[in-house]
Amino acid sequence: PALALVADPTAAGSASQTAALASERLERMASTLAALPVKLRYPPRRYQDSRPGNTLRESSPEMRTPPPTTSRKPLIIEIVDEDVTPSAPEDEKAAQPETSTSGREDEYLSVASIAALAAAAYVSGAELHGVDALPGWSSLSAATAARALLQRAFGSETERALSDTLDEQARENLARCLGESAPVLAHCLACAPEPRWGAEPEEDDRREPRPPAPELPPELAEAAQLASAESALVAATRLRRLIEMAGYPWIGRIEGVVSRVVPCVLRAMDHKNASVRREGCAALVAFVASVTRTELRWHGAALLDAAASTLSASTPEVFGTAAAAHVRTALAVCSDDTRDPGLMTAFTAILDAANSRGHEPEVAAAWVAEVPPLIAALKLSVASHLDRLFPPLLSWLHARDDAVACGAASCLELACRMTWPRVPSRAASLWPDVARAYAEADARGVADELRTELERLVAVLQLAAGDAFEAVWSRSKNEPVPSELEPLIAYLESLPAREERAEWTVPS
């Protein structure tokens, strides 16, 4: 149903019927999984494509290891199967024969992973700069049924109550399902190569090399449906939801999940479709929040390069999630040193977007919401870019969007606080825009909040610049000023006066 709804825009009118059908199917799947034994209901410990199989080369007599020629007695080794599921109740253990393998050797995806993929396409997630919490083909009833399916399939026996929060056992099982279904998601996210001229290189040499993605077996890849924009969007949505639901620390704790998920995220961010790229950026935001810096050490360069490429080529509807992915990936990968070149490169790229695309409302809204943590991480290192940082922020003080105006005032206060030794030479140029924004705040719905942010800004300027800033706003008292500006001047006059530091002398 999701593919039909995405492929045909006119099918949006039947979204409610499609979601109702999906909700019914999810409820039936939950009832079916509840009747299965625990060994079938939980995902395997090892992935099918990484299990050592009994190939012909291993069974060939030429490749057999010759018996030892020494006189020592042979060492008996007990081989323990690592594909052990969590402990099941005693009655289920007694009902199952000991020699049963449940048919998993012939399955590429377990029943648990199929259920996780089905539920992840309809469950609700977090909102992020235009990415809705609920997919367009889902509904509240379908999301509730998907959440109930996940809790019933993967939750513990003692915590089967329907709730919005999954327990730890369910999150661990979802992380295993995410690692097992990575080849399927990577296949759906694959892009067809673009047509190129004969002498044109196939790939851009300036791009960081991408890690290899897990692949389906050749017989399955040939029989599977070819990747399309619709299937890629559904796969990116499933990828993001599974990452959000598994979360920290299970994605990094389960062996092999990180190395299998990163190529899928990169494929989603490099996709030609804008909606897929937006979901890929949202998946990267959820991914870097679910792992530690140590777990990202082998993939940091590729993730930073993909985030920067997506940001520079993003459309207005993608810029919000691209900016979030760019900033949060840089903070997650780079060190805490304020002079880290990775942090400065990320700040330079996002500052270029503010100066070249600051007139776009989507760019301004995302910029003031995502960049403050990066400014706080760089601290005084931002001082070398104040000449390019202040103009877009001052223009956003007069934006029509109230959230953008308040965010710009907060960013200005943070930047002045982080770079206060360099503020005195620029404090005088800030006063006209600050005074105008304060006087025009009555026309906004958040007048009190905006004026509070501006008062904090002028307090920092007064403390950092001293006489240089006081001489500017003091001239306003001798000129006719709007009545709306009088409270701000009164607030500045009420601030404690600066004490002149006496000249230091060498004690005798």
> Is 239:268 a contact under the CB 8 Å cutoff?
yes
* CA gap 266, 261 in Å, rounded: 9
* 126 pLDDT more than 70: yes
Please report which confidence band the pLDDT of residue 476 belongs to, taking 50, 70 and 90 as the band edges: confident
* 245 pLDDT more than 60: yes
> Is 418:375 a contact under the CB 8 Å cutoff?
yes
Higher pLDDT, 357 or 4: 357
| pLDDT value at residue 92 | 45
Alpha carbon of 477 to those of 159, 409, 473, 481, 485: distances in Å?
68, 23, 7, 7, 10
pLDDT mean over 257-278: 93
* 305 pLDDT more than 70: yes
* Tokens read off for 422: 């360099």
Please report which confidence band the pLDDT of residue 224 belongs to, taking 50, 70 and 90 as the band edges: confident
pLDDT digits (tens, 9 = 90+) for 143-181: 888 888 888 888 765 455 445 678 888 899 999 999 999
* 365 pLDDT more than 90: yes
* 265 pLDDT more than 90: yes
| pLDDT value at residue 381 | 95
Please report which confidence band the pLDDT of residue 192 belongs to, taking 50, 70 and 90 as the band edges: low
Please report which confidence band the pLDDT of residue 137 belongs to, taking 50, 70 and 90 as the band edges: confident
Higher pLDDT, 9 or 143: 143
pLDDT mean over 27-38: 79
> Is 359:400 a contact under the CB 8 Å cutoff?
no
Of the listed ranges 38-47, 114-123, 207-216, 381-390, the least confidently predicted one is: 38-47
